[in-house]
């Protein structure tokens, strides 16, 4: 699955007194990309260049880039190449340049625009969606401690928990590991835990959060 941006980042690079300021933003449509580009142009209205690239769709169905007055192929395409090399989609990157008075040459421009883009990517939170199964585990209070220890020890993602007459945990795991995890939980509780599949889904880890998406 392609990677996408959960939260965008920024980065500033200086090369021979020229400033290159990169901003990355998550998007899902061309209109969102255009709006973000216009926002950056308004914010940096006094800059000589606001170059950009964006990629939309799981299979990169929409790809656009612009050199915005820089020599052809020295800005927009290098920005785009960084995004595609990282496998990132549904993202737009705008790199603003304040000219410092010294010409950088074709190679220098390419390196600067790519360097600024890489820095902004490094400062972004990138997620990768996986096919998963969301399910519930219900048990009585005598099994709670061992289950919580098992979840923590095995890195199992607990989405929520409910403590009532019995205890219920909502969990998401990768699809191909569900049967093995179900078997472990059943053995751990000697068959007392009630395990029910809620839905097949897509999910992604983002920092300490787990994001769950409907399966297309």
**Residue range(s) of every CATH 3.30.70.240 domain in the chain:** 130-214
pLDDT reading at 56 higher than 90: yes
pLDDT reading at 93 higher than 80: yes
CA neighbor of 23 nearest in space, from 73, 80, 96, 87: 96
Per-residue model confidence as pLDDT tens digits over 16-43: 999 999 999 999 999 999 999 999 999 9
* Average pLDDT score over residue span 209-215: 88
Per-residue model confidence as pLDDT tens digits over 144-165: 999 999 999 999 999 999 999 9
- For the four alpha carbons of 149, 152, 157 and 161, in that order, the dihedral sign comes to positive
What confidence score (pLDDT) does residue 13 get?
95
Confidence of residue 12 (pLDDT cuts 50, 70, 90): very high
What confidence score (pLDDT) does residue 103 get?
83
Confidence of residue 102 (pLDDT cuts 50, 70, 90): confident
Which residues partner with 172 through β-bridges?
Answer: 134, 157
pLDDT reading at 206 higher than 90: no
* Average pLDDT score over residue span 65-78: 96
> What is 130-214's CATH number, 3.40.50.300, 3.90.180.10, 3.30.70.240, 3.40.640.10?
3.30.70.240
CA atoms within 13 A on the CB side of 82: 28
CA atoms within 13 A on the CB side of 190: 3
Alpha helices in the chain (DSSP H): 30-43, 76-85, 105-122, 144-154, 178-188
What confidence score (pLDDT) does residue 195 get?
97
Which positions ≥6 away from 163 have C-beta within 8 Å? none
**Residue range(s) of every CATH 3.30.230.30 domain in the chain:** 3-127
CATH architecture type of domain 3-127: 2-Layer Sandwich (3.30)
């Amino acid at each position: 699955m392609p990677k996408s941006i959960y939260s965008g980042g920024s980065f500033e690079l200086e090369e021979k007194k020229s400033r290159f300021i990169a901003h990355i933003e998550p998007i899902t449509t061309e209109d969102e990309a255009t709006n973000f580009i216009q926002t950056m142009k308004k914010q940096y209205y006094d800059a000589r260049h606001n170059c950009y690239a964006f990629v939309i769709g799981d299979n990169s169905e929409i790809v656009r880039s612009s050199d915005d007055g820089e020599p052809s192929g020295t800005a927009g395409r290098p920005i785009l190449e960084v995004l595609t090399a990282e496998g990132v989609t549904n993202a737009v990157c705008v790199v603003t340049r304040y000219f410092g008075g010294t010409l950088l040459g074709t190679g220098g421009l390419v390196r600067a625009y790519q360097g600024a883009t890489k820095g902004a990517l490094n400062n972004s939170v990138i997620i990768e969606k996986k096919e998963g199964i969301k399910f519930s585990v219900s048990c009585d209070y005598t099994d709670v401690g061992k289950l919580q220890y098992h979840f923590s020890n095995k890195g199992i993602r607990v989405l929520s928990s409910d403590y009532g007459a019995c205890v219920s945990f909502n969990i998401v795991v990768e699809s191909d590991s569900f049967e093995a995890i179900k078997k472990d939980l059943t053995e751990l509780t000697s068959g007392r835990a009630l395990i029910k599949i809620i839905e097949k889904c897509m999910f992604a880890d983002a920092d300490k959060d787990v994001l769950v998406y409907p399966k297309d």
